[in-house]
């Protein structure tokens, strides 16, 4: 006699998510496991004994989504302070900052982020706008992609930035060309060092609140697990605390931050952190990956290119971007981390950065042999054609941020003119990577862009902005199928997180991580994919979100 189920869902279209793309009509859950999946007749004996039986005609059940590259601590922190991600335009940004300043008169700093470069000339906001709102309090706002910051005069004063302050080696301070005075935009290392050394650090309670806020939002989108792509000692402590208390209901892999200003001596520190994160009580948090940022972004010329940037006027510059970790040091780092059993999660935007990342994995394999650490390269905006087959050859997962693969103002104004037409046509080659045999995983990079997997999948299969569906598709030959996109957010990311034997598809014995959608997205028009919504999310058999 089958044991009674805690939950049975019938009437819905159940997408198993296996390689054959098969379907079922019912699924039963007991404890944290799937105990039956098949036709309604095959699951019928579970229904009468179930504590909770849901008949959901017209809905679709999928494995819980997973995000392969996301930043919940900072995203949640923004949601609790100044969040500009969901609004557009300079005027609206300033109104939001002013509203927060008025509502929080006792906060010594105004912090947050999410502004987009496209709304400012050259992508560079100025301090005067913020001075008008907060002349006496410092303001520090990361931009949408967290590669720059917007600050006011008071913040610059507190940070000691003057005309004599040199640019850091890994960034720059935007200046008035006549006077040399800082104008209010900090790029890359200048923004990071300011944030680390000048802006007050949130305490652990603040980070825990940010994580719980972010988790609630991610669960509302059907997300039951993720890889945090930037784990610091402070956010790691917050993860460990909420995991130990049982409040971390998602399964999280933490990518510990590689300090590019240090060398291999930091491996010992990372090993100690991994060991501490693996003790009893750590629960759903697993600090088993290491994040290395290899380059910057194309919009501010810090993405590392094989050939120089164009000047936007038909010629070329002498700039090829920045490699924050040079090729030889990167190979040493990846080889050492691989030898110690770490997965390496690499940020690579430009084609030179992608090549250096692949070369580093090749060096690790040569030194250590083939391992199952599942190294992956995130963003992969520009991949040289000669390097695309190497992902499969080296067993490197392509960590795709699909929402970026669309024509939008930043792409049109700040990227294409400085890549030139030939390179611009090589961006986000997702279909080529799949055709060459590469595994793909999907990640949002939230709060850089939306965390909603359905919105990201709509771009992956259409290459069109969901908010402007009449636009022409961006490089449509690189579209993915819907099945490939769904797999990227389920089994693909579960694979990256070494969790594919436990979840990522709906199979008996796997963990009951499930999302119930309000419609079958495989029968609805793919051009309207993001019109669907999540009604219920289960993580380890527990309802962690239910739309009211």
Extents of the domains making up the chain: 7-63+510-546, 109-197, 204-496
d(CA 144, CA 147): 8
| CA dihedral angle for residue 29, residue 33, residue 36, residue 38, rounded to 10 degrees | 90
Would you say residue 47 has pLDDT above 90? no
Segment (H or E) for 424: helix 421-424
State the average pLDDT over residues 230-235. Answer: 95
- For domain 7-63+510-546, say whether CATH 2.60.120.380 is its number: no
* DSSP label at residue 477: G
| Percentage above 70 pLDDT, the chain | 98
Tokens of residue 370, six digits:
């083939």
Phi-psi region of 379 (alpha: psi -120 to 50; beta: other; left: phi over 0): left
Would you say residue 267 has pLDDT above 80? yes
Tokens of residue 121, six digits:
């000339």
CATH architecture of the domain with range 109-197: Roll (3.10)
Phi then psi dihedrals of residue 187, to 5 deg? -105, 140
CATH class of 204-496: alpha beta
Q: Which of 225, 292, 283 is nearest to 255 (CA)?
A: 292
3-state DSSP assignment of residue 90? helix
CA 450 and chain centroid, separation: 9
State the average pLDDT over residues 180-189. Answer: 94
Over residues 331-390, the pLDDT tens digits come to: 999 999 999 999 999 999 999 999 999 999 999 999 999 999 999 999 999 999 999 999
Strand blocks (E) in 31-138:
33-38, 52-55, 60-63, 65-70, 82-83, 110-115
Cβ atoms within 10 A of the Cβ of 477, count?
Answer: 10
* pTM for the predicted model, two decimal places: 0.91
Over residues 467-522, the pLDDT tens digits come to: 999 999 999 999 999 999 999 999 999 999 999 999 999 999 999 999 999 999 99
Over residues 15-41, the pLDDT tens digits come to: 999 989 999 999 999 999 999 999 998
* pLDDT band, very low/low/confident/very high, at 280 (cuts 50, 70, 90): very low
């Amino acid at each position: 006699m089958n044991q009674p189920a805690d939950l049975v869902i019938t009437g819905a279209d159940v997408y198993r998510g296996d390689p054959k793309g098969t379907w079922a009509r019912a699924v039963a859950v007991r404890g944290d496991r799937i105990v039956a999946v098949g036709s309604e007749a095959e699951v019928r004996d579970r229904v009468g004994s179930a504590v909770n039986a849901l008949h959901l005609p017209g809905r679709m059940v999928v494995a819980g989504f997973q995000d392969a590259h996301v930043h919940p601590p900072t995203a949640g922190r923004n949601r609790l302070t100044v969040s500009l991600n969901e609004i557009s335009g300079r005027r609206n940004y300033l109104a939001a900052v002013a509203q927060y300043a008025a509502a929080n008169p006792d906060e010594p700093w105004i912090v947050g982020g999410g502004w987009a470069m496209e709304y400012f000339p050259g992508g560079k906001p100025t301090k005067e706008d913020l001075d008008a709102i907060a002349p006496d309090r410092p303001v520090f706002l990361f931009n949408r992609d967290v590669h720059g910051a917007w600050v006011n005069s008071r913040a610059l004063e507190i940070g000691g930035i003057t005309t004599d302050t040199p640019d850091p080696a890994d960034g720059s301070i935007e200046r008035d060309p006549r006077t040399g005075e800082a104008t209010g935009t900090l790029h890359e290392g200048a923004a990071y060092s300011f944030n680390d050394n000048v802006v007050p650090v949130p305490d652990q309670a603040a980070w825990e609140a940010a994580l719980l806020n972010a988790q609630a939002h991610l669960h509302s989108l059907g997300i039951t697990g993720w890889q945090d792509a930037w784990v610091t000692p402070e956010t790691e402590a917050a993860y460990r605390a909420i995991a130990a208390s049982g409040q971390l209901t998602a399964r999280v892999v933490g990518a510990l931050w590689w300090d590019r200003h240090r060398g291999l001596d930091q491996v010992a520190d990372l090993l100690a952190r991994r060991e501490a994160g693996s003790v009893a009580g750590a629960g759903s948090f697993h600090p088993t990956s290491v994040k290395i940022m290899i380059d910057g972004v194309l919009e501010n010329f810090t993405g590392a290119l094989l050939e120089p940037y164009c000047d936007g006027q038909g010629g070329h510059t002498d700039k090829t971007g920045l490699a924050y970790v040079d090729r030889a040091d990167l190979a040493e780092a990846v080889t050492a981390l691989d030898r110690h059993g770490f997965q390496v999660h690499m940020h690579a935007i430009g084609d030179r950065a992608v090549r250096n990342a692949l070369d580093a994995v090749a060096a690790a394999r040569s030194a250590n042999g083939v391992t199952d650490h599942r190294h992956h390269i995130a963003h992969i905006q520009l991949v040289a054609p000669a390097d695309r087959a190497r992902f499969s050859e080296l067993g490197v997962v392509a960590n795709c941020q699909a929402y970026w693969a669309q024509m939008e103002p930043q792409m049109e104004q700040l990227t294409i003119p400085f890549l030139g037409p030939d390179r611009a046509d090589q961006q986000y080659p997702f279909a080529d990577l799949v055709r060459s045999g590469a595994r793909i995983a999907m990640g949002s990079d939230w709060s850089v862009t939306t965390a909603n997997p359905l919105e990201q999948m709509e771009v992956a299969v259409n290459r069109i902005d969901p908010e402007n569906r009449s636009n022409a598709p961006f490089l449509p030959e690189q579209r993915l199928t819907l099945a490939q996109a769904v797999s990227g957010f389920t089994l693909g990311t579960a694979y990256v997180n070494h969790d594919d034997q436990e979840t990522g598809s709906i199979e008996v014995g796997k963990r009951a991580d499930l999302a119930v959608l309000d419609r079958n997205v495989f029968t609805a028009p793919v051009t309207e994919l993001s019109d669907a919504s999540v009604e219920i999310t289960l993580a380890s058999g527990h309802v962690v979100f239910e739309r009211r």
